[in-house]
Amino acid sequence: MTFDPLVEAIRKSLRTLDASPGNPGAYLDLIQAYLNCAQKESEPELLDQATFVIRDVRKLSLTDEQSARLAALETEVRDSLLRLRPSPRP
């Protein structure tokens, strides 16, 4: 049986997060995995999941590098959401 590597990346990130719930890197990897899969599959629901993870990682103490990575991921998630779920026109 062949598994989609993007889905497997999400599963792996979730397992890592379960094993180390205080590890900011695991949260950032999960956000990236959701983002990659959402962009490939055009699934805004995965980006919604990424926003929940962003909310959670903000509660943790981050290094400067992790903060910069989080900011970049937030921008990518927001931009991807705008592409996949455009605002309704009046």
What's the pLDDT tens digit per position in 15-54?
999 999 899 999 999 999 999 999 998 999 999 999 999 9
Rounded Cα distance, 15 and 13, in Å: 5
The DSSP symbol for 60 reads S
- Nearest in space to 28 (alpha carbons), one of 8, 9, 7: 9
* Domain spans, the chain: 5-83
Rounded Cα distance, 28 and 35, in Å: 11
| Residue 76 in this model has a pLDDT that exceeds 70 | yes
- Give the model's confidence band at 5: pLDDT under 50 very low, under 70 low, under 90 confident, else very high: confident
Distances (CA, A) of 19 to 14, 23, 47, 67: 9, 9, 23, 22
Which amino acid is it at 49? Q
Global confidence as pTM = 0.88
